[in-house]
Amino acid sequence: MRHLLATAAACALTAVSIVTAHAHATLEKAEAAPGSYKAVIRIPHGCDGQPTETVRVEVPEGYIGVKPQPKAGWDLVIESGDYAHPYKLHGRDVSAGPRVVTWSGGALQDAHYDEFVLSGTLAGVEAGQSLFFKTLQLCADGKVAWDQVPAAGQDPHALDHPAPGLTILAAGGGQGGHAMNHGAAAAGDAVTAGDIEIASAWARAMLSGQKAAGAYLTVTNKGGAADRLLGGSSPAAGKVEVHTMEVVDDVMTMRPVEGGLEIPAGGTVELKPGSYHVMFMDVAKPFAEGDTVPVTLRFEKAGEVELSLPVRVVKGAGQNHGHGHKD
């Protein structure tokens, strides 16, 4: 009996701890190195039992080129403004960009949880620095403001309504348990995750009305064991898969790579037009030359790698890459 009571008490304490851990608005990844970063803001509950109808997020200084992810059933408004000083973004100077993002018109029930996503670049930041994403929830008759910033040396857990905080790691530092360099993966740049190195990554520009586009890169495995590229995700597409192209009965066809694309130990695999490639599907807005496309690739052993792909037009191509078109 005592054992049962002790076990029940331990379970109750664990349950309370879980509730407490999710009681505040938080970031899914609270540490990141300079470069590409996806801010996933978790909203854990409503306003005293009421559903949340609006979520407003202030974009902190040092997080630039932000693009929010739309949510079905919610209206999206972006308020732009000047940065404190110019930044370099993909080789050009930028002095303004999104500063406040608001999702409204939804109905996130008090008993439910949801995520609100921003994609951007951490620039002009240093290791050990903290950025805070001040977040406001609005309900029919109330609000919850997650906007308290801890003083120097203060434990943010001591605050009643702490703003979701991000700690900057040293360049090349890890995120999510894997060492990686989060710089934008423009052509010629290399991004690493564990034993995997990715270089020469880019995405193909699309025609108006197209819903799918290919992306290409070179993957090198510097480890002693094979790894697999399983797929990925992107706020710019409904689905991201690894595909291959082959000729069957004189017809070029594309299909997913079942089980992922093997990257052999000590080997290099080139994803290129007419062969293996990363396929973006259900793209809401066609990729245009000069844009950059955020994507998180997922490896079996190396984990997740965040990239920012420059969009290019293939010279002399009659059609852009997509299902139903020859490459």
Give pLDDT tens digits for 75-116: 999 999 999 999 988 778 999 999 999 999 999 998 888 999
The region, left, alpha or beta by phi > 0 then psi within -120 to 50, assigned to residue 316 is left
Token pair in block for residue 28: 């899914």
Which range scores top for mean pLDDT: 10-24, 78-92, 306-320?
A: 78-92
Distances, alpha carbon 80 to alpha carbons 73, 95, 150, 303, in Å: 23, 11, 26, 34
Give the pLDDT band (50/70/90) at residue 250.
low
Residue 20 has pLDDT above 50, yes or no: no
Determine the pLDDT at residue 187. 41
- Same CATH fold assignment for domains 24-168 and 184-312: yes
Token pair in block for residue 84: 């404190």
Give the domain 184-312 fold: Immunoglobulin-like (2.60.40)
Q: Which helix (H) or strand (E) holds 12?
A: helix 2-21
Determine the pLDDT at residue 315. 55
The mean predicted confidence, pLDDT, of the chain is 82
Helix (H, G, I), strand (E, B) or coil at 324: coil
Whether residue 230 contacts residue 298, with contact meaning beta carbons closer than 8 Å, is answered with yes
Give the least confident one: 39-48, 104-113, 171-180, 283-292. 171-180
Determine the pLDDT at residue 154. 80
CB atoms within 10 A of CB 303: 20
Give the pLDDT band (50/70/90) at residue 134.
very high
Q: Which CATH superfamily is domain 24-168 in?
A: Uncharacterised protein YcnI-like PF07987, DUF1775 (2.60.40.2230)
Task: Assign 3-state DSSP to the chain and report helix, strand, coil percentages, each to 5.
Answer: 5, 50, 40
Domain parsing of the chain, residue ranges: 24-168, 184-312
DSSP single-letter state for residue 51: P
Determine the pLDDT at residue 249. 67
Q: Which helix (H) or strand (E) holds 297?
A: strand 292-299
Q: pLDDT digit string (tens) for 266-309?
A: 999 999 888 899 999 999 899 998 888 999 999 999 998 889 99
